Amino acid sequence: MRTLLKPTPLAPGATLAIVSPASTPKPDRVQQGIQALEALGYKTRLYPNALNKGPLYFAGDRAERLADLHAAFADPEIDAIICTRGGWGSAELLPHLDLEMIRANPKPFLGYSDHTSLHTYLLKSLGLVTFYAPMVAADFARRNGYDQASWTHALTGSDPWSLTATDGLRTLRPGTATGQIVGGCLSIYTESMGTPYAPNVYAPDLPNFPTILFLEDIGTKPYQWDRYLLHLRFAGHLATAQAIVFGDMSQNIAPGNPEDLAFLEAVLLNNLRDFQGPIAIGLRSGHVDAPNITLPLGIQAQLDTSDPDNPRLTYLESAVQP
């Protein structure tokens, strides 16, 4: 396991760069999100290509999206980088990232969904701790769209801190395990397998390290969850996983249909019948319609479901520099 590169804490009055590495956001939603962030005391800077329309569904062409991301990392006046929305497009940027410039300018990078590819590659290539976190148009534009407690703990340096049943966490299999928390959006994470940008947590000829795997998605049917998990297992990716935490599944089932949720949980447990570690589900991070929880990726955590009625995911170290 490489030495982690931790960004600086997010201080009151920090300046946030607003970028769109993937798809075009709705301008009115971006403005609503900016107003919410500024009401929290942050300064914001909307980057030149963040609202671009096209080509296709992208927020500008690859060069424009890359230019904004690079400029935000390089600018010493920017304290953190937050994405407007996900969609599709971040993976196009991976071969063109200026990794040495980013290494020299570590700062919090925040987003989820499609940005899983950036989280994964920045951790793999630099050891950079990033944040699976609320986005401007997707969450801060919503009333009560972000979870204040986890945002504060993750970005200001609380050590340790926990997520519990009040954050949606439920037990699927009891146990206790510790590891480096990795993961993100199931489809994006899994589709990196077999590419140079896949998470580097298992290699037969290299020392391996234990992980806690976090997975969530939207609009993914039970058989697709089954297929993606089987792919991860066949790729050797579960060999180092000590525990698995699934996100909130409400965006993957018919609204108000508990039978669908029960069926999906049965699919997950059947797929993971040979997996020995603890399993939890329901964590409200990523694609949610509730206050979105901020999860640091890359640092050590412990999942404890030994008391099935009181599951707890505890971060064992700070995600930012002391």
Q: What is the CATH classification number for the domain harbouring 227?
A: 3.50.30.60
- In a domain, residue 307? The reply is yes
Q: Which position has the higher pLDDT, 240 or 229?
A: 229
Last residue of a domain, one of 120, 146, 172: 146
Q: How far apart are CA 18 and CA 118, in angstroms?
A: 16
Mean pLDDT of 51-61: 96
- The values of phi and psi at residue 135, to 5°, are -115, 165
| Chain segment 251-298, per-residue pLDDT in tens | 999 887 889 999 999 999 999 999 999 999 999 999 999 999 999 999
Identify the CA nearest to 189 among candidates 202, 179, 180, 199: 199
Q: How confident is the model at residue 9 (pLDDT cuts 50, 70, 90)?
A: very high
| Chain segment 112-138, per-residue pLDDT in tens | 999 999 999 999 999 999 999 999 999
Last residue of a domain, one of 90, 123, 146: 146
Return the pLDDT at 204. 47
User: How many CB atoms lie under 10 A from the CB of residue 44?
Assistant: 17
| Cα 213 off chain centre by | 11
Is the predicted pLDDT of residue 1 greater than 60, yes or no? no
- Same domain for 187 and 310: yes
| Chain segment 148-159, per-residue pLDDT in tens | 999 999 999 988
- Same domain for 191 and 142: no
Return the pLDDT at 258. 83
- In a domain, residue 151? The reply is no
- In a domain, residue 77? The reply is yes
- In a domain, residue 320? The reply is no
- Same domain for 307 and 170: yes
| Cα 79 off chain centre by | 19
| Chain segment 134-146, per-residue pLDDT in tens | 999 999 999 999 9
The total number of residues written for the chain in this structure: 322
| Chain segment 162-210, per-residue pLDDT in tens | 999 999 999 999 999 999 999 999 999 999 999 999 987 654 444 567 9
> Can you state the percent helix, strand and coil of the chain, rounding each to 5?
35, 25, 45
- Same domain for 165 and 123: no
What is the number of structural domains in the chain? 2
Return the pLDDT at 207. 52
Q: How many CA atoms lie within 13 A of 315 on its CB side?
A: 24
- In a domain, residue 67? The reply is yes
- Same domain for 97 and 199: no
Enclosing domain of residue 117: 15-146
Q: What is the CATH classification number for the domain harbouring 109?
A: 3.40.50.10740
Q: Which helix (H) or strand (E) holds 153?
A: helix 148-156
Is the predicted pLDDT of residue 219 greater than 90, yes or no? yes
- Same domain for 142 and 167: no
Q: Which position has the higher pLDDT, 20 or 205?
A: 20
Is the predicted pLDDT of residue 218 greater than 70, yes or no? yes
- Same domain for 191 and 293: yes
- In a domain, residue 98? The reply is yes
Positions marked active-site: 113, 216, 287
